[in-house]
């Protein structure tokens, strides 16, 4: 990837998006790891709860987060950086982001490990997102049923981080 490129990495919580995106960005020259959830974390007061059912306000904030991330990605790309944008883009959100950035020819990578792997990874990490009323199967099912089949879909259940990064680089070209 000699010139600046845009890679979009998505999947359910605990799919490995942050880890893969960071490792991938480190392999590229002049690169940025753009974490979509940073825009949610910036809200000091008035943040809507995110979960399996989104209130109208939560849906509005999620759309704002995606729009802001796209704008920031554009800024870094214009400055000559490759951008690895990582976020939960499930259902129509993936198509909306792909459409917003289509002129940048993004490489889209969907990490899709099995729900039981998501549960184990969530349990093994410091931050947990799933619970009794929000099991991993909710997002895994939405990813499978509602998300358009854009880009490269990878079942990372039995893959190491390095294997996933190598698969992405082999699919979309090395620098």
Segments making up each domain of the chain, as ranges: 6-172
Backbone angles phi, psi at 101, to 5 degrees: -110, 15
Fold of 6-172: Rossmann fold (3.40.50)
The pLDDT value recorded for residue 134 is 76
The pLDDT value recorded for residue 106 is 97
The pLDDT value recorded for residue 119 is 82
Nearest to 111 by CA among 90, 131, 129, 127: 90
Average pLDDT per block of 10 residues along the chain, 175 residues long: 85 92 96 96 92 90 97 98 96 96 97 90 76 79 92 96 96 74
pTM: 0.92
The pLDDT value recorded for residue 174 is 60
Indicate the burial class of 67 (C-beta count within 10 angstroms; 0-12, 13-18, 19 or more): middle
**109 in Cβ contact with 9 (< 8 Å):** yes
């Amino acid at each position: 990837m000699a010139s600046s490129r845009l890679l979009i990495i998505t999947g359910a919580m605990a799919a490995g998006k942050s880890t893969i995106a960071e490792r991938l960005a480190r392999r590229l020259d002049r690169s940025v790891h753009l974490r979509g959830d940073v825009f949610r974390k910036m809200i000091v007061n008035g943040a809507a709860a995110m979960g399996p059912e989104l209130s109208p306000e939560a849906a509005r904030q999620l759309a704002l987060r995606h729009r802001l991330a796209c704008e920031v990605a554009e800024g870094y790309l214009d400055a000559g950086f490759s951008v690895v944008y990582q976020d939960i883009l499930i259902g129509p959100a993936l198509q909306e982001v792909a459409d917003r950035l289509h002129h940048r020819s993004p490489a889209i990578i969907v990490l899709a490990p099995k729900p039981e792997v998501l549960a184990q990874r969530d349990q093994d990490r410091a931050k947990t997102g799933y619970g009794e009323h929000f099991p991993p199967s909710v997002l895994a099912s939405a990813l499978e049923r509602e998300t358009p089949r854009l880009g490269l879909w990878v079942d990372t259940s039995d893959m190491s981080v390095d294997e996933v990064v190598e698969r992405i680089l082999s699919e979309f070209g090395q620098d």
